[in-house]
Amino acid sequence: MIFKDELKKRAKEIEDELITYVRTKDVPEKKLNEAIEYSLMAGGKRIRPVLMLEVFRLFSDDIKVVMPFAVAMEMLHNFSLIHDDLPGIDNDDFRHGKPTNHKMFGESTAILAGDSLFNEAYLTISESIRENLSNEKAEAFYEFSHSADRMIIGEYVDTEFEGKPISQEYLEYIHINKTAELIKGSVRIGAILSGAPKDDLEKLTNYAEKIGLAFQIKDDILSEIGDEKVLGKPVGNDKKKNKCTYVTKYGLDVAKETLHKITNEAIQIISSYGEKGEFLKELAIFIETREK
């Protein structure tokens, strides 16, 4: 298996579905809709919805059940990116190698585009469950809402402590909520909707927590030593803003060691699924070795 090719195929599967939710009519809010499309269809790895579908496929084949939740998770993620880039938070000018939403459409439109994506995520799930509300869908809806809540909390704490001394406990708290929570939520929703046994749900949650933390530590490393041309955004912003990251708190070497350790732990967990879990195993390795 050539993992990057397989990841692109799965990302394309998500994007083909996402495009059906884009609003293109000539209406008074046309500029708002263009701002939403600009961020939603800007590309990216689509890691969260891909994870959700792949975990679901460990136990079930009918992806029609899970696809609305996967689409909603990507909408939620893009909402967080639009707001994360705003002047009042990270004040970033570029995302995926293109001007950020507020640079293209103005700050007020960007705020509302993020708000619209957040609400559209809930509408998407609501439409999928209004005719057939199973216990699994109700539980998945709770997981989605919980992930959204924790992600916003993590973003707040990260912003609140910018430029201030921070404990190891608080740094972990930020990473677990701001970044890892949507990854964990994606995995848990995929498992819940597939009817996975409780033991598997716990095992997959543990895997998700590992790769979620790994994803943020790798982001911290790339922010320090990444290639701006590959990343599509400036390097060194965290240091300029005096943000506390794994690299600034523990040093680059310790950050790399920690990343490698928890990646191996994730691999050990998912290896128990054999060939069916091969993509998820390769995904853990990809998160550790990615360049953007």
Question: What is the pLDDT tens value at each position of the chain, 292 positions in all?
Answer: 799 999 999 999 999 999 999 988 889 999 999 999 999 999 889 999 999 999 999 999 999 999 999 999 999 999 999 999 999 998 899 998 899 999 999 999 999 999 999 999 999 999 988 878 889 999 999 999 999 999 999 999 888 888 888 888 998 899 899 899 999 999 999 999 999 999 999 999 999 999 999 999 999 999 888 777 777 666 666 666 677 888 988 999 999 999 999 999 999 999 999 999 999 999 999 999 998 8
pLDDT of res. 241? 66
Do 103 and 86 meet the contact criterion of CB atoms below 8 Å apart?
no
pLDDT for 111 equals: 95
CATH number of 3-289: 1.10.600.10
Give the C-alpha separation, 196 to 76, whole Å: 24
Token pair of 44 as six digits: 């990216």
Least Cα distance to 78 among 104, 48, 58 occurs for: 48
From CA 136, how far away is CA 128, in angstroms rounded? 12
Q: Which helix (H) or strand (E) segment is 101 a member of? A: helix 101-105
Q: What local confidence, expressed as pLDDT, does residue 239 receive?
A: 64
φ and ψ of 279, to 5 deg? -65, -40
Long-range contacts of 56-61 (CB under 8 A, 24+ apart): 56/190, 56/191, 56/193, 56/194, 57/194, 57/276, 58/191, 58/194, 58/196, 58/200, 58/273, 58/276, 58/277, 59/191, 59/194, 59/195, 59/196, 59/200, 60/193, 60/194, 60/195
What is residue 234's predicted lDDT score, i.e. its pLDDT? 66
* Domain residue ranges of the chain, discontinuous segments joined by +: 3-289
| Rounded distance between C-alpha atoms, residue 29 and residue 48, angstroms | 29
User: Which amino acid does the sequence have at 108?
Assistant: S
Residues 105, 99: Cα–Cα separation, whole Å: 10
